[in-house]
């Protein structure tokens, strides 16, 4: 094992992750989540200290054809380090998607071999590729060949408990030119049930000299330190726990590096939530953006301690002005928050 970010003990990392030519300032990454990690959320998470943020997964063929939904998912405006995650089952499309990502400003291209959704695996993409490692390798090689950018790979432990082949795939991916590997500590057949097996990730760490990032069930700095200790990984990836609190990734990054973490004030959290809502409505159009925002609005309000009745109104309104006012009101319930003068 020769991971660039070495564990010093007690869950402290010596330096940020390095991905090819890209040096990061920490070791905590916001996970790519379909329908969740829009560019507004990614900008906010990065501003609050996330070491790296990754786009929603885009289908390689749709992305190359210029489909509007794929373009929005892969948007990276305002990000200093922009990662586009691509998925597919045909080498030609994967190589072309890597090329398009580079031409449109990406810094890193990530390959999705971890998505467990039936609509993805049914098309022999995502985690289904772990059942066909030779074909998966052809896709990896085509992606690496399609760009001069660093290429990373995200996958699971295997398809099921009888097929825990992530270490073997990791070795082959390294030989093909991949620069970093992320492992979700579940099999595809587990979906998101049960608990992620952080110890099982160690087999991948020991199989490759690449930096390995551990993913699955990280909701706090204590979780992150336990993940690193059990897996031997060089970094952690935070997913669902960051919904409604995108600053969490920065908090974990700071803690792992033993940097001083200043908790955002209630007003800063409120303003970030309002910024996120505005970005969704601006990028997607008011109607679609507001509908897309509901899962985020509910999470922001929950973490702000807003009452259930307010949360229900927030996620059912079709009026953007009312949604904005209710979101402001939700944060008044967070200790120390104020209601802006224009909303008072």
Catalytic annotation, residues: 115
Phi, psi of 36 (to 5 degrees): -125, -50
Cα gap 39→42, rounded to integer Å: 5
How, if at all, do strands 28-30 and 235-238 pair?
A: parallel
**Structure tokens that stand for 259 in this block:** 């940097």
**H or E element, residue 221:** helix 221-231
Q: What is the DSSP letter of 128?
A: G
Run of H or E including 250:
helix 248-256
Nearest CA to 95 out of 149, 45, 40 is that of 149
Q: In 3-state terms, what secondary structure has residue 328?
A: helix
At 338, give phi and psi (nearest 5°): -120, 160
Closest to 41 measured CA to CA, from 242, 258, 252: 242
CB atoms within 10 A of CB 311: 19
């Amino acid at each position: 094992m020769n991971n660039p970010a070495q564990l010093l003990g007690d869950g402290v990392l010596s330096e940020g992750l390095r991905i090819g030519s890209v040096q990061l300032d920490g070791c905590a990454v916001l996970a790519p989540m379909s329908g969740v990690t829009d560019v507004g959320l990614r900008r906010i998470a990065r501003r609050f200290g996330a070491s790296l943020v990754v786009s929603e997964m885009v289908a390689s063929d749709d992305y190359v054809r210029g489909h509007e939904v794929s373009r929005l998912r892969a948007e990276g405006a305002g990000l200093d380090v922009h990662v586009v995650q691509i998925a597919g089952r045909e080498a030609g499309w994967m190589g072309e998607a890597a090329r398009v990502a580079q031409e449109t400003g990406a810094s890193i291209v990530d390959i999705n071999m971890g998505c467990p959704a039936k609509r993805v695996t049914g098309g022999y993409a995502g985690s289904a590729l772990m059942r066909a490692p030779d074909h998966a390798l052809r896709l990896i090689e085509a992606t690496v060949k399609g760009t001069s950018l660093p290429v990373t790979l995200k996958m699971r432990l295997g398809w099921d408990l009888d097929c825990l082949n992530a270490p073997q795939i990791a070795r082959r991916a390294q030989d093909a030119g991949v620069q970093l590997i992320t492992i979700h500590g579940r099999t595809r057949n587990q979906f998101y049930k049960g608990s992620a097996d952080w110890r099982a990730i160690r087999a991948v760490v020991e199989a490759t000299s690449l930096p390995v990032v551990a993913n699955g069930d990280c909701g706090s700095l204590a979780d992150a330190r336990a993940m690193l200790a059990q897996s031997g990984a060089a970094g952690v990836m935070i997913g669902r726990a960051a919904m409604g609190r995108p600053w969490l990734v920065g908090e974990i990054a700071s803690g792992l590096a033993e940097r001083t973490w200043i908790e955002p004030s209630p007003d800063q959290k409120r303003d970030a939530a309002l910024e996120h809502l505005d970005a969704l409505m601006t990028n997607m159009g008011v109607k679609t953006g507001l509908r897309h925002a509901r899962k985020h609005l509910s999470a922001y309000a929950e973490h702000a301690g807003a009452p259930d009745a307010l949360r229900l109104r927030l996620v059912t309104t079709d009026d953007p002005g009312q949604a904005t006012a209710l979101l402001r009101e939700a944060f008044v319930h967070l200790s120390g928050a104020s209601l802006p003068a224009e909303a008072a």
